[in-house]
Amino acid sequence: MTASPRTIHGSATESDILVSARSLSEYADMFGLDAEDLLGRIVDCPGGAASAVAEICEAGGAAVAVDPQYSLGAHDLRERVLADLDRSLAQSSASELEYDWDVRGGVVGHETIRRTAAERMLDDLDAHPERYIAGALPSLPLAGDSADLVLCSHLLFTYADRMDLDDHVEAIVEMARVAPEVRIYPLVDHAGTPLPELVRSVIAKLKKGRLTSRIEPVIRPFQLAATTRLVVERSGHRRG
């Protein structure tokens, strides 16, 4: 697990980007994953401490995660993940009106989901380190067409304050090199501010590169402002 990840404008791997821990159930909601999706080869980028890969593989599927923080190694990554978990739980509680807590079984349910996801991912990292690849957008250490679907949660758009239009486009083009379909969520920044101009401009630039995009609704989002995802496909790609 060695890599010297390129960063997006040199700042996207800074320590203030949370290494967060979401469950497969959260991913299923955010990305509208169905049984057919889970039969394919999936890349979770950024994987962070999400347990999606562990859960998909446990169910017999094929998935890997890519994240620059995997280069820390298991011990330091565990410390980072547990510290960031506390940071992220404190942040969401402090802005409680921005979330639909019923979706997560209240504040306590939410904390349980996130802690369970982190522990599951860290255990899986120990048992199957080959599933967790150190690397960074916009240059993934994965072969072209090595996956069917790339999932990108809480990096693009979320950190639009430090990634510009070209960073977004380059990152999406790179993910679309690895798989014919890319799903990105959310389309708001970390404060929940919608980014319609940026989303429109990204879609327009992708279209010039023969990537087609559509915006899909997300049912019962936890973050109230984050009601949509972006699905990008190579032109002519048909699922199945």
In the complex, the residues that contact ligand SAM under the rule CB under 6 A are 7-8, 12-13, 17-22, 45-46, 48, 50, 67-69, 136-137, 153-155
Cβ closer to ligand SAM: 66 or 203? 66
- Compute the distance between CA of residue 159 and CA of residue 162 in angstroms, rounded to an integer: 6
Cβ closer to ligand SAM: 14 or 207? 14
Closest approach, Cβ 21 to ligand SAM, in A, equals 6
* Cis ω before 46 (30° cut-off from 0): yes
Q: For residue 78, what is the enclosing H or E element?
A: helix 74-94
Closest approach, Cβ 174 to ligand SAM, in A, equals 9
Residues counted in the chain:
240
Torsions phi, psi of 27, nearest 5? -60, -40
Residue with smallest beta-carbon separation from ligand SAM: 48
DSSP-assigned beta bridge partners for residue 153: 185
Q: How far is CA 221 from CA 86, 99, 124, 165, in A?
A: 22, 8, 27, 25
Torsions phi, psi of 142, nearest 5? -130, 145
Cβ closer to ligand SAM: 17 or 64? 17
Closest approach, Cβ 153 to ligand SAM, in A, equals 4
Closest approach, Cβ 237 to ligand SAM, in A, equals 23
Cβ closer to ligand SAM: 153 or 228? 153
